[in-house]
Amino acid sequence: MTELPLLRVAGLGKSFGRIRACQGVSLDLYPGEVLGVVGESGSGKTTLLRCLSGELVPEQGTVEFRDPEGEIEDIHRMSEARRRFLQRTQWGIVHQNPRDGLRMRVSAGGNVGERLMAAGERHYGRIRAEAVAWLDRVELDPARIDDLPLLFSGGMQQRLQIARILVSRPRLVFLDEPTGGLDVSVQARILDMLRRLARDLDLAAVIVTHDLGVARLLTDRLMVMRRGEVVEEGLTDQVLDDPNDPYTQLLAASVIA
């Protein structure tokens, strides 16, 4: 396997005052790989995700990203302009609450088109056609392209947020509890969609979740966090079917059905 990792994290640490939110985290993420991060609330998984996506600056360690030209750069040591450019074009963040990721007073089509424009597309007809195609792809009625997301249900907003991120064809996507707070039936639809899109677009992704069912369905590899540290990692089915760490055994034994 000569392929190089897309993201390489070494010795990452972040504290909030005296609380060490995460420490000593290292990982390699390869193109097309979906990594799950599980653990209870307060385990440091969201802090880790935010350090990887550039939203938080870690105190220790490095987060190296390989751009399409093969250039490897530490995302926390590059210029603000460069980081923003990569955030717009190379990676995407799907927030748990779609309101954090959408512009609620801009039309659905505008939300999807915005990232295309940010990536340099200027042709209105092409932008609109792409927006229509993506609404359809995430199972939203393209006839609602001019409606505001405010008028959408929670599940629809989440699908719109996913379309908004994926339209610019990022190579790496960060998802924080993408189905948290949604009805089970709505959740199933979004999971199925994400699973299909990840495969069709050959996306690399890091998904934070506390739901082991979501992890089993969507991820190739799993990291289990507790009190800011990684206590166990491996293939998702290994970690869930043959957990070694006491905490992972407790998590795996607590799954309903």
Partner 1 sequence: MTAAIEIDGLEKSFTLHLRGGIRLSVLRGLDLRVEAGECLVLRGASGAGKSTILRCIYGNYRPDAGRILVRNGAGTVDVAAAAPREILTLRRMALGYVSQFLRVVPRVSAISLVMEPALERGATQAEARERAAAMLFRLNIPAKLWDLPPATFSGGEQQRINIARGLVAEQPILLLDELTASLDADNRAAVIELLREARGRGATVVGVFHDREVRDAVATRSLDLEAEKAA
- Give, as ranges, the residues between 210 and 239 that touch partner 1 (CB under 8 A): 216-217, 220-221, 234-235, 237-238
21/251 with CB nearer partner 1: 251
Can you read off the two tokens belonging to residue 43? 């385990």
104/188 with CB nearer partner 1: 188
* Residue 155 Cβ vs partner 1, minimum distance, rounded to whole Å: 13
Q: Is 6 exposed, middle or buried (0-12, 13-18, 19+ CB in 10 A)?
A: buried
Given 88, 195, 210, 227, the residue binding partner 1 (CB under 8 A): 195
Given 189, 197, 201, 227, the residue binding partner 1 (CB under 8 A): 189
Per DSSP bridges, beta strands 60-66 and 7-16 are: antiparallel
Given 4, 55, 241, 255, the residue binding partner 1 (CB under 8 A): 241
Can you read off the two tokens belonging to residue 70? 């093969």
User: Binding to partner 1 by residue 26, rule CB under 8 A?
Assistant: no
> Considering only 38-46, 108-116, 128-136, 184-192, which stretch makes contact with partner 1 by CB under 8 A?
184-192
Nearest alpha-carbon partner for 89 in 208, 173, 145, 188: 173
Which residues, including other chains, have CB under 8 Å from residue 208's CB and lie 6 or more apart?
36, 37, 38, 45, 46, 48, 49, 175, 176, 177
Instruction: Specify the residue for token string 């905490």.
Output: 247
* Residue 159 Cβ vs partner 1, minimum distance, rounded to whole Å: 14
> Considering only 12-20, 48-56, 141-149, 188-196, which stretch makes contact with partner 1 by CB under 8 A?
188-196
Per DSSP bridges, beta strands 72-74 and 60-66 are: antiparallel
CA angle at residue 245 from 211 to 33, to 5 degrees? 50
165/194 with CB nearer partner 1: 194
Helix and strand totals (H; E) in the chain = 10, 10
* Residue 93 Cβ vs partner 1, minimum distance, rounded to whole Å: 24
* Residue 157 Cβ vs partner 1, minimum distance, rounded to whole Å: 19
Question: Interface residues with partner 1 (CB under 8 A)?
Answer: 1, 30, 33, 188-189, 191-192, 195, 216-217, 220-221, 234-235, 237-238, 241-242, 244-246, 249-250, 253
